Amino acid sequence: MPCRDAGRRSVAGVTALRRLEAPTGLRSGDHVFWTFASASDFSAAVLPFLDEGRRLGEQLLLTGASRPALIDALESLPQRDEMLASGQLEVRSVTEIVDPARGLEPVEQVQSVRSEVEAALGRGRTGLRVAADVTALARRGPDERRQLHVYERLADAMTATVALTAMCLFDTSLGDEVLGPIAVLHPDQHHGEREPLGYLSGRGPWLSLRGELDAGLADAVLRALVDVARDSPGEVVLDLADLQFLDVAGARMLATAASLLAEIGVDVRLVRARRLVGYCLELFNLADGQAVPT
């Protein structure tokens, strides 16, 4: 069926992109991007999210810049103090998790979250639910953001396979240029009034682009794609089977990404494009299934 309402489709085994209206109704495997504009905005997202986890018997973890501020933000969370006392709820500052001197180490960090999930299950919890205000890391600079993109991709893939529900929170003051590439690395997006169009997924055997990639999203996907693919020497396969729309600007972005990556020894292979997507790829000699010429 052509031109359906893209991004709403749910296919067994495939995580579809969706716009998240409320921070609830979430289960293991969900990986949420959420922006906030104020402290009350932040609480309004985090409280229902964590309270839902409490009711589900999950281990709860909240991280952010300042531990006291985070505790304050949880003031109206039911059973906050009891959960802090029992250890069901933990609150940590980012500096406890990421050594400021070393910066974010994506592989190590993902492994550490995975261990926390196992520990939560070992304590008899039904899973781990994490709300992380990552604003401080995103603010540091381009290198740190690159690491953050790599981390988000690995974390997204991991979230699909363990008893983890994750919400990554970002202050809207970071601006679209910073937030755009981070948003597209999440299947569940709440980005103010913006309608999420695309998702660069690390779930499954290949990287895949899902949703609609048009001129408005091209820069964000370019940055995310180059960052997550650059450390994979050899070939990176990008699955386009769930990409429902691609325009000239989006195809130009894919050609640009392919050429940037080729310069550092990474060959991008685009596979399973639908006919409409193929029209635009053809304009840039990006043939489906073949190595991208450089």
What is the residue-wise DSSP string for 148-189? HHHHHHHHHHHHTTSSEEEEEEEEGGG-HHHHHHHHTT-SEE
226 binds another protein (CB under 8 A): no
- State the minimum distance, in angstroms, from the CB of residue 194 to another protein: 10
When the beta carbons of 9 and 92 are compared against another protein, the nearer one is: 9
Q: Where are the beta strands (DSSP E) in 86-171?
A: 89-93, 128-133, 164-171
* DSSP conformational letter for 293: P
Dist CA 40 CA 267 (whole Å)? 46
Residue window 258-277: x/- pattern of binding to another protein, with contact defined by CB under 8 A: -x---------------xx-
- Answer for which of 212, 227, 239, 242 binds another protein (CB under 8 A) is 212
Is position 172 an interface residue for another protein (rule: CB under 8 A)?
no
> What does each C-alpha distance from 198 to 2, 16, 208, 222, 246 come to in angstroms?
18, 10, 10, 12, 10
Pick the binder of another protein from 11, 107, 119, 215 (CB under 8 A): 215
Number of residues that bind another protein (CB under 8 A): 23
Per CB under 8 A, 197 contacts another protein: yes
Please list every residue from 4 through 63 that binds another protein, using CB under 8 A: 5
Q: Rounded CA gap, 170 and 147, in Å? A: 16
**Region class of 39: left (phi > 0), else alpha (psi between -120 and 50), else beta:** alpha
For residue 214, the minimal CB distance to another protein (Å) is: 6
Task: Show the tokens assigned to 189.
Answer: 């997006």
Figure out which of the listed residues 155, 255, 268, 270 binds another protein, where binding follows CB under 8 A. Answer: 255
Binding residues for another protein (CB under 8 A): 2-3, 5, 195, 197, 212, 214-216, 245, 247-249, 252, 255-256, 259, 275-276, 279-280, 283-284
